[in-house]
Amino acid sequence: MARRPLPRILSHGGAQLARSRELARTAADSATDILYPLIMITRGLRRLASAGLRRWTDTPKDKRGALLFLVASVVLVVAIVPYGPLLAVITLMAVAAWQGRDRAPSEPDGPDDSQTQRLKSLYEALVPYFSAAEDPAPLYAHGGEWEKAFPAYEFDATGRIAHLVISYPAYFPDGEAESRARIQHLLTAKSGRGREYHFAWDEESNQLTVTVLAPLPSDICAQRYVTAPGETVLGFTDPTQVQRTLPLTHGEEQRDVPPVVWRTGIRSTEPHLLALGQPGSGTSTLLRSIALQALQHGDVVVVDGGGTGEYACLTGRDGVLAVECGLAGALTSLEWAAHETERRLIAANRAHQAGHPPPDDTRRPLWILLDRPSAFTHLAAADGHKDPQSLLQVPLRHGRPANVTVVIADQLDSLDVLSDPVRQHTRARVALGPVTAQQLEAVLGAPPNTTPLDAVPPGRGYARLGTGPVHRIQVPATPNPYDEATGEIHRQAVLELLPPRTTPADAATERQGPDPAEAAAQAEPVTAEAAAAAGAEPVTAEAAVAAEPQ
């Protein structure tokens, strides 16, 4: 069968179709220019009609009759006056044209003189870092064209850079942290100090995007968060860093804020937390916030090395096993916690071997919160006692399968005093207060993508969970409600979250920790005699973890 040729319009009409579309587009543009006055008047009449309808709707029903009478009187007067209707139509068209004009402000085609000078100076400052003598066509050269180096830029109301995209040559070592740090320091100094900048390096496209970050909200009080069991809100961060928001209450307002959520439990990859900061940076506030959230589903043991009574509001509360401020009480509580961790491991291991679920008392989370344990280290060395940090080895190493979580807060200059198990097993890290980039890298294990500030509000810092990204963080305000400097709003917010008091205050003061006899009783299941009496071989914590199914 012979093939029929395509119609000429389909085989040779591509150019004619393109020409026809261009003519149609030109005719439409010309018609728009000609009919623009009519379009503007029509738009104005529509706006006037909408305004009149809104005025009629907003008028109370008992006053609509008077308004209708006034409009009818004006229409009657206009109709009687000579040339009244004609003047009314002309006036109406003029008002409609004025209301229908394009109100969008005309944007300038480019930066003004001051902005151009700022971009030029920034370009000249980058020349020594982004140029090479062997480059035949350098993108950066003294007196060169900055327009090619900065393809996109934005300025704020004060005339400073708010967003900037920088193109750099491919031979720049953007994979080296030191080279990046030099460029980030230079951009921070030239773009304006006192602000936080986020640096996004696109190594494939050889582009650096600089964005000015808005301050994190510091007016969020402690409250109940919509989280699942095993989730703890450490603070709040930028909306571009996380894919989740939490509904929060601020006075009578409701707003959604992105949180930094730390997941604990047997499936957690970062079961323990270390928070460091300068005095007054908010580490105690973070511990109080964690304690109030942990008491919803578990038990808490608090060891306060500062001895300032920051956790007195927790004494005697339901779920609070101890609040210790002295060395003897801290040693007793931590020794009990180590034995409790071993007991849980052995009980869970026996249940697994028998084919039963773990006992209920091993599934309830146990939180060990320590504030400034380095103070006890110096005290124990002076008195010849055991370092309390040595008792944390079992909870830190085997706490995850036993539902035991350790949270430690200390000062930034005490990082070297912390023991090796503490530094090794606390993979969730928080650094609060004014810190340098070098200190952040030492604490978090990675430098942040933003520039730290010299002055920050309490509770402001950075957080990193394991090997994840570094987040900016603002800890919710959770002050000591018994402090006279605490505001009434924050005091009531914390008091409403406290569980009911189950132990009288006097009894709680006399006995703020587990009794040594109770600690010895709790330690009986891990001894060889107790194991032999139960008809089983002695089981250690390491053997229990090794025998536990993966």
Binding residues for ATP: 277-284
With b for 16 or more beta-carbon neighbours within 10 A and e for fewer, the 218-228 pattern comes to eebbbbebeee
Alpha helices in 251-372 (DSSP H): 283-294, 327-353, 360-363
Spatial distance between the Cα atoms of 417 and 413, rounded to a whole number of angstroms: 8
Chain centroid, CA 371 distance in Å: 23
Please give the torsion angle defined by the CA atoms of residues 518, 523, 529 and 530, in that order, rounded to the nearest 10 degrees. Answer: 80
Q: What is the DSSP letter of 366?
A: E
| Two structure tokens written together for 269 | 């990859």
> Letter for the amino acid at 72?
A
Asked whether the beta carbons of 276 and 285 are under 8 A apart, the reply is no
Asked whether the beta carbons of 458 and 466 are under 8 A apart, the reply is no
Q: What is the DSSP letter of 317?
A: B
Spatial distance between the Cα atoms of 494 and 510, rounded to a whole number of angstroms: 25
- For residue 5, give Cα distances in angstroms to 9, 11, 16, 17: 11, 9, 19, 19
Nearest-CA neighbor of 168 among 122, 211, 212? 122
The Cβ-side half-sphere exposure at 393, using a 13 Å CA radius, reads 7
The Cβ-side half-sphere exposure at 95, using a 13 Å CA radius, reads 12
Asked whether the beta carbons of 367 and 301 are under 8 A apart, the reply is yes
- Residues whose CB falls within 8 Å of the CB of residue 48, separated by 6 or more in sequence, listed in order: 95, 96, 99
The Cβ-side half-sphere exposure at 324, using a 13 Å CA radius, reads 28
- Residues whose CB falls within 8 Å of the CB of residue 360, separated by 6 or more in sequence, listed in order: none
H or E element, residue 275: strand 273-277
Asked whether the beta carbons of 457 and 448 are under 8 A apart, the reply is no
Asked whether the beta carbons of 271 and 499 are under 8 A apart, the reply is no
Spatial distance between the Cα atoms of 394 and 349, rounded to a whole number of angstroms: 16
Asked whether the beta carbons of 130 and 187 are under 8 A apart, the reply is no
Alpha helices in 100-223 (DSSP H): 113-130, 146-149, 177-191
Binding residues: 277-284
